[in-house]
């Protein structure tokens, strides 16, 4: 029996009142609604319920509109693509014949007529656009055809149709056009692909969308990134910054309109006190006719006595407004983890730009995983198609096939400093030549092969192949260094 049962009633009542007074005293302040900010609705939803079908269409429309009209958004996406979608293929099975055949096979398959069902884009351009659609639309579909080509399915075409679903597809198991085992793990089983109405020079033919077919998951790869476990469709990373971007776009227009207005009404004339002008001081024939002043050419205003002229200065944009625009731009760039120094190259010094680049490279390294994983998946599928069609020679050792996708790498900001650091890392056994080359977007083995061919050619032409010694290299590097300012301040202190 609880000990409280032995206490007198008034003691038990006092204890309950005291306990009630402490209720919530040690809770999280974040969940308390004190009226100073908008509270959450308290409803916890899945990712698919947070963005229902209508809201998803509205978000997609807003994202496409801001990308098409705001140059900053287009630049953000292109800069993200530059760092995450540019790769070169490197076969490294160890067997020369297998590696050469595989590289030739990938090069041939990458051509537009062999890769894209529409014959428009090669592999690099196709997958770059796919990543761009993921950034703007949230996701897109890559339909694998029997002939080894790919057909792109934009995200808005994957949707739950109003009617036309097959009888064996329960409607309560279709989420945003994806048939899932919703009552088990939520794994995708098939995708509902709809046909968009054709648009010609004579207008739109048919309804907006018509159900076409259910595509099994084995035949189509949904190119999307997921931030939650119970998420069926991808969501554009622009969603978090969409409202500030729209406000910025409108704010720039309003500010520019204000500047134009100030230019149109730029001259202010002051007549002075009319009572101070008498017949003795006023000559009507020599008076200035201000209504006929032409400001298109340079001239001197010959003002009358008591008159004054000033140009209207609106001080637009104000310093505070310009600083606010800069801060808002910096915040919206974070939707793609892009540092502000990328947008404004003069914003930072060498050290600051270098640090920003290294931090962005960490984000870009994670962002490249999806494009690399997609390329690996597609190449394995294409090799399987080639194997079924007897397109692989018997001399090719399929079991030894290995490859990698080498990113384009980072350009040198200060080549002399960075090359010296790379050489020191290799000599100190802190990095390998292969790692250093990969960071620069090159292949060490390919460089060695090219150097060997160069040296053979130089020997045939009786040209010395000896390398420049360290002393001479140091002298050249010292001569290339810029002179320091008289006060000893470097670039970082400017």
Residues 402-447 have pLDDT tens digits of: 999 988 876 666 777 788 888 888 888 888 888 888 777 777 888 8
Average pLDDT over residues 224-234: 90
Q: At what angle do helices 96-109 and 369-388 cross, to 10 degrees?
A: 100
Residue 36 has, within 13 A of its CA and on its CB side, a CA count of 5
Handedness of CA 175, 178, 184, 185 (dihedral sign): negative
Q: What is the mean pLDDT of the chain?
A: 81
Say whether 139 sits in a helix, a strand or coil. strand
Answer whether 91's CB lies under 8 Å from 379's CB.
no
pLDDT of residue 438: 78
Handedness of CA 6, 9, 13, 15 (dihedral sign): negative
pLDDT of residue 393: 94
pLDDT at 478 over 60: yes
pTM of this structure: 0.74
Tell me which DSSP letter residue 93 carries. Answer: S
**Alpha helix stretches (DSSP H) within 208-286:** 242-264
Burial 222-239 (b: 16+ CB within 10 A, else e): bbbbeeeeebbbbbbbbe
Answer whether 134's CB lies under 8 Å from 224's CB.
yes
Confidence of residue 77 (pLDDT cuts 50, 70, 90): very high
Residues 166-210 have pLDDT tens digits of: 888 988 899 999 999 978 888 999 999 999 877 777 766 666 788
Which residues fall within 8 angstroms of residue 312, CB to CB, at 6 or more apart?
A: 262, 265, 266, 267, 268
Residues 270-291 have pLDDT tens digits of: 555 555 555 555 555 555 555 5
Say whether 259 sits in a helix, a strand or coil. helix
Residues 246-264 have pLDDT tens digits of: 988 888 888 877 777 666 5
Provide the percentage of residues in the chain whose pLDDT is more than 70: 74
Which residues are 403's β-sheet partners? 91
Average pLDDT over residues 34-43: 71
Residues 311-331 have pLDDT tens digits of: 556 666 677 778 888 888 998
pLDDT of residue 494: 35
Please give the residue that has the higher pLDDT: either 160 or 322. Answer: 160
- Put residue 87 in one of left, alpha, beta given phi > 0 → left and psi -120 to 50 → alpha: beta
What are the extents of the domains in the chain?
411-478
How long is the chain?
494
Backbone angles phi, psi at 287, to 5 degrees: -70, 145
């Amino acid at each position: 029996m609880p000990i409280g049962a032995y206490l007198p009633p008034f003691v038990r009542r006092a204890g309950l009142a005291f306990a009630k007074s402490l209720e919530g005293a040690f809770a999280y302040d974040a969940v308390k609604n004190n009226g100073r900010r908008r509270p959450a609705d308290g409803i916890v939803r899945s990712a698919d319920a947070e963005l229902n079908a209508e809201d998803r269409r509205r978000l997609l429309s807003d994202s496409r509109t801001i990308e098409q009209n705001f140059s900053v958004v287009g630049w953000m996406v292109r800069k993200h693509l530059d760092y995450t979608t540019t790769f070169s293929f490197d076969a490294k099975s160890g067997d020369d014949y297998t590696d050469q055949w595989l590289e030739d096979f990938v090069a041939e398959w990458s051509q537009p007529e062999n890769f894209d069902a529409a014959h428009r884009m090669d592999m690099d351009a196709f997958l770059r656009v796919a990543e761009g659609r993921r950034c703007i639309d949230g996701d897109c579909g890559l339909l694998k055809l029997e002939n080894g080509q790919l057909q792109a399915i934009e995200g808005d075409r994957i949707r739950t149709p109003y009617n036309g679903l097959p009888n064996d597809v329960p409607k309560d198991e279709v989420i945003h056009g994806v048939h899932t085992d919703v009552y088990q793990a939520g794994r995708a089983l098939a995708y509902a692909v709809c046909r968009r109405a054709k648009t010609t020079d004579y207008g739109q033919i048919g309804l907006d969308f018509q159900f076409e077919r259910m595509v099994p998951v084995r035949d189509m790869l949904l190119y999307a990134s997921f931030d939650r476990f119970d998420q069926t469709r991808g969501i554009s990373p622009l969603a978090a910054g969409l409202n500030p971007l729209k406000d910025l776009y409108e704010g720039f227009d309003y500010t520019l309109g204000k500047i134009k207005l100030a230019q149109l009404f730029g001259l202010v004339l002051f007549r002075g006190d009319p009572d101070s002008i008498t017949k003795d001081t006023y000559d009507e024939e020599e008076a200035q006719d201000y209504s006929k002043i032409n400001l298109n050419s340079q001239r001197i205003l010959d003002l009358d006595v008591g008159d004054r002229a000033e140009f209207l200065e609106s001080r637009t944009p104000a310093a505070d407004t310009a600083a606010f625009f800069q801060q808002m731009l910096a915040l919206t760039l974070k939707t793609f983890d892009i540092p502000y120094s990328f947008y404004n190259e003069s914003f930072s010094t060498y050290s600051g730009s270098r640090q920003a680049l290294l931090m962005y490279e960490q984000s870009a390294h994670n962002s490249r995983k999806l494009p690399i994983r997609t390329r690996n998946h597609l190449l394995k599928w294409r090799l399987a198609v080639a194997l079924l069609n007897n397109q692989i020679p018997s001399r090719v050792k399929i079991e030894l096939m290995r490859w990698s996708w080498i990113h384009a790498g980072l350009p040198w900001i200060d080549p002399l400093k960075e090359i010296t650091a790379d050489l020191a890392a290799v000599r100190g056994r802190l990095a390998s030549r292969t790692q250093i080359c990969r960071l620069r977007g090159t292949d060490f083995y390919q460089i060695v092969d090219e150097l060997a061919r160069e040296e053979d050619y130089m020997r045939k032409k009786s040209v010395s192949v000896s390398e420049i010694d360290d002393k001479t290299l140091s002298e050249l590097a010292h001569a290339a260094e810029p002179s320091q300012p008289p006060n000893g301040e470097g670039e970082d202190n400017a």
